[in-house]
Amino acid sequence: MTEQQPLPPKSFDPTTFREKPVSFVRRSGRMTPSQERAWADHAEKYVLDIAHGPAATSVADGETGDPEQIFGRTAPLIVEVGSGQGHAILHASQTRPDTNFLAIEVFRAGLARTIIRAEVAGVENLRLAEVNAPELLEKYLPAGSVDEIWVFFPDPWKKVRHHKRRLVNDDFARVARRALRPGGVLRLATDWENYAEHMRQVLDAAEGFERDFSGEWAERFDGRILTAFEEKGIDKDRRIRDLTYRRGTATSAMTATIEETP
Ligand X SMILES: C[S@@+](CC[C@H](N)C(=O)[O-])C[C@H]1O[C@@H](n2cnc3c(N)ncnc32)[C@H](O)[C@@H]1O
Which residues form the interface with ligand X (CB under 6 A)?
22-24, 81-84, 87, 104-107, 110, 132-133, 152-155, 167, 227, 229
Other Cβ atoms within 10 Å of 48 Cβ, number: 17
Distance CA 37, CA 32 (A): 9
Distance CA 110, CA 84 (A): 5
- Count CA atoms within 13 Å of residue 148 on its CB side: 20
* Shortest Å distance, C-beta 241 to ligand X: 13
Closest to ligand X by CB, 73 vs 164, is: 164
Spatial CA neighbour of 47 closest among 136, 168, 146, 149? 136
Residue set of the binding site for S-adenosyl-L-methionine: 80, 105, 132, 155
Query: Residue with the closest Cβ to ligand X?
Result: 82
129 CB burial (10 A radius; 0-12, 13-18, 19+): buried
* Shortest Å distance, C-beta 104 to ligand X: 5
Distance CA 93, CA 126 (A): 7
Helix, strand, coil in percent for the chain, rounding step 5: 35, 20, 45
Closest to ligand X by CB, 74 vs 242, is: 242
Closest to ligand X by CB, 107 vs 209, is: 107
Residue set of the binding site: 80, 105, 132, 155, 159, 191, 227-230
CA distances 2 to 5, 7, 40, 45, 66, Å, are 8, 15, 7, 18, 32
Residue set of the binding site for substrate: 159, 191, 227-230
* Shortest Å distance, C-beta 257 to ligand X: 26
Closest to ligand X by CB, 12 vs 251, is: 12
* Shortest Å distance, C-beta 113 to ligand X: 11
Distance CA 187, CA 122 (A): 26
* Shortest Å distance, C-beta 163 to ligand X: 14
Closest to ligand X by CB, 166 vs 247, is: 166
Report, as residue numbers or ranges, the catalytic residues.
155
Measured in degrees and rounded to the nearest 5, phi and psi for residue 222 equal -80, -5
